[in-house]
Each structure stands twice: as structure tokens, then as C-alpha cells.
Amino acid sequence: MYAQMIKSEATQDDPEKLAAFQARIDAGEKIEPKDWMPEGYRKTLIRQIGQHAHSEIVGQLPEGNWITRAPTLERKAILLAKVQDEAGHGLYLYCAAETLGVSRDEITEMLLDGRMKYSSIFNYPTLNWADIGAVGWLVDGAAIMNQVPLQRTSFGPYSRAMIRICKEESFHQRQGYDAIRKMAEGTPEQKKMAQDALNRLWYPSLMMFGPSDKDSVHSAQSMKWKIKMNTNDELRQKFVDQTVPQAEYLGLTVPDENLKWNEERGHYDYTDPDWSEFFDVIQGNGPCNVDRLADRNKAWDDGAWVRDGLLAHAKKKAARQHAAE
């Protein structure tokens, strides 16, 4: 429904303005919030940036779940810092979305009542400590693969937010790899846990890049507008090519019998995820969808008194200023 709304409004733009806008994009100029932009461009950005912001915030849940159970004080401090970073990423992105004329409360409400999405990956559980290593290695690894090109995206506030986010995400990926390496090099039981984490999280990580190109609804227009810089399949392939040698180094086996280096293509051949599972998860039927949304709704409701207090304070301050003028 949200996508349909974007399409119908996009057709209302003046063709001359649209052509001039496209010329700016093609010339590599950044579009800033006060510049003219097609309604479809604005709405697509709100959808993508909002979905990304929600992913950062919801993504805190599976990891936050392990802060109290981290195996050492050092791992606990690292995980705590990482989870806090994700909250910061959410804030940068909500701020970027706000420059497009939508308030943070509005898009938060759209998340809470299910009108907006967040990344499919966070609807899978983190069952043991090795999963936390695998999340950093695979999930943050996939996120960076997608986000590094987005530093060059055409909308200024989004591209600047991505520059900051990517710096931190690369630390997240490394800490995840370090944590899973420790498990893979540990006792047979620890190595088994690392392999189990890879088995469960491999295909959900591949799904993060979105449906295959033939089923991607938005890619063509988003790439024309440089809201997206690559297709879903291009990024997925890059991720597979980067990650398989890392798994080999760890002595772990990627759970794909068809995985093999294709000399002619210069890439690994691999098995696509089960796309029916992906569509089921993004429609709300993944293993953790209900819990994730319930947790976000509870956090929002529990925080109402803070928002009310801040608003009352701001109103009082404004009234005092008004009286003094």
C-alpha cells in the first residue's frame, strides 16, 4: 500500500522539473532537503531510510538479549558499546528522514503498527553466544556490503549519515569475526556452536539484500535516482565472495552443497535462499516477528512519561520566552 502511494504521487510531477532533477543526479550532484525533488523520490527515501533506521533499533533486541550473559567482562563491554552504537545509527537515520518532512514519531508509529518494515534478519533468534559472533561477522558484514556504496547515495543527509555509520559498522564486523574465531578455535563443543550459528544464519544473511533482481520492485527506479547504488543480487554475490574465504579460514563449512568457485565468472556459484521463507518473514510470520514488535511497542509505551515530561518542559520554556518578549 505504501509502495502504491509512492507510485501514484510520482506521476504527478512536472516532466521538465523531473528531467532537470534527473540531470542533477546523473551529474553526481547531491540533493539537499530544501531542493525540489519528485514526490516519488522523497517517499522512496522515507521508506528506505525509515526501514533502515527501524532495523538499527530493532537490531538491538537480539544482541541486547546477550549483554547480561556475555562470557567475559571484556566481551560484555564490547557488546554493550556495539548495541549503543546501533541506537546512534538509528538516530542519525531518523534525523535524515526528518529532513524529508516526516517526524520521527510518525515513522515510529508506522513501525509499531506494522505499516513499515525492518530488516528480515532481526526476526531470527540468537540462541547461543556463538550467534553473537555470527551476527557481527555475517549480519554486520552484509550490512556494510550494502552500506558502503550508500555513502555515495544522491540524498545529502542520507549519504553523510552513512559515512559515520560505516566507520562504526566495520568495527562491529571485526569484533564479530574475532568472537566467532575464538569459538571456532576453541573446544570441539565451542566449534560445534560456531558451526551451528553459521548453519542457521547463513541464508537469513543472504536474504538481507532483498529479493532476487527479477522480483525487486524498487531497484530500477531507485538506482536511476541513485537511492540505491547496486542491485540486490550484485551485493549478495559480493558478500558471498568475501565471506566464503573467511569461513574457510575459520575451519567452518558454509551450509551450501552447491557452493563452488566459478573460474569463468570469477565468482562463487551458490544456492539462493528459500524465497518463500523470505516473503513469509517480511509479511510478519518469521520466528520472532511478534516478539520484536511487542518489545518495541512496550518500550514506546514505557517511555511515554519521558516524552510527555520533555514536551511539557519545552512548552513551559516557550511560554516563558513568549511572556518575556
Residue whose entry in the numeric block shows the C-alpha cell 521538465:
16
- Degrees to nearest 5, angle at CA 56 with 25 and 256: 90
Rounded (to 5) percent helix, strand, coil in the chain: 70, 0, 25
Interface with ligand ACO (CB under 6 A), residue from 60, 128, 146, 289? 146
CA atoms within 13 A on the CB side of 107: 29
Closest CA to 175 of 315, 322, 248, 66: 66
Interface with ligand ACO (CB under 6 A), residue from 40, 50, 176, 211? 211
Determine, following the binding rule CB under 6 A, whether residue 94 of this chain makes contact with ligand ACO.
no
Distances 243 to 28, 39, 134, 197, 309 between C-alpha atoms, Å: 31, 38, 12, 15, 47
Which one of the spans 9-17, 48-56, 70-78, 249-257 is the region binding ligand ACO (CB under 6 A)? Answer: 48-56
CA atoms within 13 A on the CB side of 99: 21
Which one of the spans 68-76, 104-112, 195-203, 213-221 is the region binding ligand ACO (CB under 6 A)? Answer: 213-221
The helix/strand/coil state of 260 is: strand
Which one of the spans 47-55, 77-85, 304-312, 314-322 is the region binding ligand ACO (CB under 6 A)? Answer: 47-55
Interface with ligand ACO (CB under 6 A), residue from 175, 232, 243, 289? 232
Determine, following the binding rule CB under 6 A, whether residue 108 of this chain makes contact with ligand ACO.
no
Interface with ligand ACO (CB under 6 A), residue from 41, 51, 133, 183? 51
Interface with ligand ACO (CB under 6 A), residue from 43, 218, 236, 296? 218
Shortest gap between Cβ of 130 and ligand ACO (angstroms)?
20
> Which residues are paired to 155 by β-bridges?
31
Closer residue to ligand ACO, CB minimum distance, 47 or 82: 47
Which one of the spans 45-53, 173-181, 183-191, 246-254 is the region binding ligand ACO (CB under 6 A)? Answer: 45-53
Binding mask 270-309 for ligand ACO (x = CB under 6 A): ------------x---------------------------
How far apart (Å, rounded) are the C-alpha atoms in residues 212 and 229? 16
Determine, following the binding rule CB under 6 A, whether residue 48 of this chain makes contact with ligand ACO.
yes
- The region, left, alpha or beta by phi > 0 then psi within -120 to 50, assigned to residue 226 is left
Determine, following the binding rule CB under 6 A, whether residue 40 of this chain makes contact with ligand ACO.
no
> What is the widest separation between alpha-carbon atoms in the chain?
76
Closer residue to ligand ACO, CB minimum distance, 83 or 194: 83
Q: Are 117 and 54 in contact (CB under 8 A)?
A: yes
Determine, following the binding rule CB under 6 A, whether residue 96 of this chain makes contact with ligand ACO.
no
Q: Are 100 and 45 in contact (CB under 8 A)?
A: yes
- Residues in the site for ligand ACO, rule: CB under 6 A? 2-3, 47-48, 51-52, 55-56, 59, 117, 119-120, 143, 146, 207-211, 216-219, 222, 228, 232, 282
